[in-house]
Structure 1
Amino acid sequence: MSRPRRDPRAERKAHAVPAARPRFDLGATPSAPPPRPRRDPRRALAAATVRDTPRLRLDRMQGESRPVAEALARPLPRPEAPAVRRVEAPAFHVLAVLDAPDGRLSRLDRQVLAAARILADARKDEAGAVLALGARPVEGAGAAGADRLALLPALGADDPALALAALRAVDEALAPRHVLFGETGVGGDLARRLAVARREPVMTAIEHFTARAVARPTKGRRAERAGPPPRLMTLGEDRVADYAGLPCEARPLDMEVPAVPAEAGVWDVETIVADPASLGLSDSDFVVSAGNGVTDFEGFGALARALGATPGASRVVCDAGLMPREAQVGASGTVLAANCYLALGIAGAPQHLQGIAGCEHVVAVNTDLHAAMVERAGLAIVQDAQAVIPALLALLAQRRGGRP
């Protein structure tokens, strides 16, 4: 049982006698001061809580005057469905021909869709629709700016004549105002073939793009060709920012393409997989790098081979002679443009982060939760790299059924 808490100042004030000078009568019965009202902090918080928003908001000015039951009885509003941009009756179409390797949008594909969105929204008096064409279903086309999505399996054919015939049929059926391609090996070749078949000019490798004018370098970059956006054009990489507006509908559109007889232009097609270890870092799509936190480089090499990735390293590892100099990743080494980058035991120096700025997905393994590489990564594993490497090898062996 605890003793009652005494307040000496209150007791002294209770024995005070009214006089010119301070006088106290210790024998007199003290008059107890009125007790202070006790506040319930939980009740005050509940009364001040505003229940109209999903986030916690407090109204201290009117919280005490509102009954607690009334404040708690008000239901939270249901979250509204995200707004979707819809174009029901487009005045014209803008075609965006996508490469979409492995059924996913590449960085250039997103930029092509963003450029098509700019052209479709160029005029306020008429609404245009962006039609994305791909060989297989893709995810995220609506968020990238596509109003319609049509599948043309012939675009993924090994014979470019079949892809050209299917694309030409769509072009003749819809008569789009613009047709955009990415300046890649597949997209650039298809754009040039369509220009020859339609006998129309094409502007390739555009570096400056707006709704009113486009430009590209000519004559060894000593001159520039500029003009209004033509009907057929190819876009260089990193020339247009990704679409950041409201998600579009990406409504599936059934295209009736006439059957094209297969010609004997291509007899046999075989995909030759290159050895990732022999690829340069700038050409690889998947890079696994070792940092100062990796000591077992035999296990690191085995993991790179099991993942089918190109091995890389940080500057510290290359300076120590543990990895060759051509494996160095960073501004002072090789600048990457890989789809996936796995950093094992790399803290993330500024020059190293500059070298992986073009990587789409970054996975970091580090014991430091506040490392710069962990902040840059889309997925981080806070663990010692020496423990993660054998765990990944065991998981890969289990999934492959013991096959190398």
Structure 2
Amino acid sequence: MNRRDPRAERAAMIVAVTPRLRLDRTHRGGARTAQAAVTETGPAPIRLTDPAFLIAAVVEAPGGALTRHDRQVIGAARLLAGNAGGVLLIAPGAVEAAGAAGADRFMALGVTGYDPACLARRVARAITDHAPRHVLFPETADGGDLARRVAALCGCDLFAGAESLTTHQAVRPTGAGRQEIRAAPPWLISLAPDRIAPYRGRPHEVESLPHPEIEPVSGATMAAEPLAADAATIPLDQAPLVIAAGNGVTDFAGFLDLARALGATPGASRVVCDAGALPRAMQVGASGTVLNAECYIALGISGAPQHLQGIGTVEHIVAINTDLHAAIIARAGLAIIADAQAVMAALRRML
């Protein structure tokens, strides 16, 4: 599999770093020595020793990884904190890359498994102890439930499903989206997905805080554990990982086997569905299903405009195509220039 990284090719052509970059378009190779002598260091993290106030961001972080919605909540908290305030990140357990997401303080509540009542009591105790100016939640099935439990425990109103947020105003829809409610940002806010951009600035140095101690209370939940769903039965618009077959795929039985091995929900391009190779319900695109996945793997799909519209909000896209200039290659975060059938066979062998 041949992979092309334009950034590495450009870096190899840099002759001088200061005072101005110059590229060697002759490809004589003399730039490599000069470039190797340059040591690149990342930006120094921002350290906030004594913030004037705190903005709390309560996230889900399944498996210790921040979701796209989690990072948007932290980005909103960073927006409200400004330069003087600090962001307190609160999660059920340990979290990766909290500083890169914009957090200054981190608190792991030490809650394992499914215990929403205990989690809500710990969050309520944490925000009572640290008195943040605002507390933000993701408006998801679990995040919205937690926000409402915390609001009930604290005896405060929740501004649910905010779609716009600034330091002066919070906006949410009402009346089936025909009207808006505008108010000064209240204490408890839940944010709708894909409305606030995540933090993209310099990383922050994170200070860990101890989780609050609460008295054990016997709840109504005796035992609970998550049940793994069959990825093939998850609707495309709800699937976190989708793999789709395009015109470059001929072995559709092998494609479905690969999807099962990856635990991905299978999809297809319009060309494949029009040919009857896969059912119409699998079609990805503006004329099929619009995805909201974390990751999308496109096998042999060129990327027609209506297909690209259907993957507009997907965070990570992997494109496998023999055409270097296909539209899907420009959209992808990782592009593999190879035959989709060969890559499918290699992946099945690896799995």
Aligned residue pairs: how many?
327
1:143 aligns with 2:100: yes
Conservation of the 8 A alpha-carbon contact between 2:170 and 2:185: yes
- What secondary structure sits across from 2:290 in the alignment? coil
Which amino acid is 1:109 matched to? D
**Cα distance in 2 between the residues matched to 1:321 and 1:244:** 44
Percent identical among aligned pairs is 50
Quote the Cα distance in structure 2 between the aligned partners of 1:107 and 1:271. Answer: 21
Task: Tell me the residue number matched to 1:223.
Answer: 179
Shift of 1:140: 2.7
Residue 378 of structure 1 corresponds to 333
Q: Deviations over 1:125-165 (max 9, x none)?
A: xx2110111122222322222111221122x5412111012
1:79 offset after TM fit, Å? 4.8
SS in 2 for 1:300: helix
**Once the two structures are superposed, what CA deviation does each residue of 1:237-280 show, in whole Å capped at 9, x if it has no partner?**
1111222322222x132224214315142112132222222221
Q: Matches of 1:353 and 1:286 in 2, distance apart?
A: 16
Q: Identify the match of residue 53 of structure 2 among 84, 92, 95.
A: 92
Change (3 A) 1:51 1:382: closer
- What's the counterpart of residue 13 of structure 1? none
Give the 5 Å matches for 1:3-402: 52=18, 55-56=21-22, 79=40, 81-121=42-82, 127-154=84-111, 156-249=112-205, 251-396=206-351
C-alpha distance in structure 2 between counterparts of 1:178 and 1:379, whole Å: 38
Specify which structure has the bigger relative contact order, considering alpha-carbon pairs within 8 angstroms and separated by 6 or more residues. Answer: 2
Alpha-carbon distance, 1:338 to partner: 0.8
Unaligned 5+ segments in structure 2 are: 1-14, 25-36
Partner residue in 1 for 2:6? none
Q: TM-score, normalised by structure 1?
A: 0.76
Mapped contact 1:54–1:77 kept (Cα < 8 A): no
| Distance in 2 between residues matched to 1:167 and 1:195, nearest whole Å | 10
- Give the distance between the partners of 1:77 and 1:103, measured in 2 at CA: 35
Partner Cα distance (1:80, 1:307) in 2: 36
Distance 1:50 1:210 in 2: 43
Following superposition, the deviation at residue 180 of structure 1 comes to: 0.4
**CA shift at 1:221, angstroms?**
2.6
Structure 1 runs of 4+ with >6 Å offset: none
**Distance of 1:264 and 1:197 partners within structure 2:** 15
Residue 35 of structure 1 aligns with which residue? Answer: none
* Contact 1:363-1:378 at 8 Å conserved across structures: yes
RMSD: 2.3
Q: In structure 1, list runs of 5 or more residues that go unmatched.
A: 1-48, 59-75, 397-404
- In structure 2, do the counterparts of structure 1 residues 266 and 368 end up closer, same or farther at CA, with 3 Å as the change threshold? same
User: 1:22 — aligned with what?
Assistant: none
Amino acid at match of 1:101: P
Structure 2 length normalisation: TM-score?
Answer: 0.87
Contact 2:105 2:209 in 1 (8 A): no
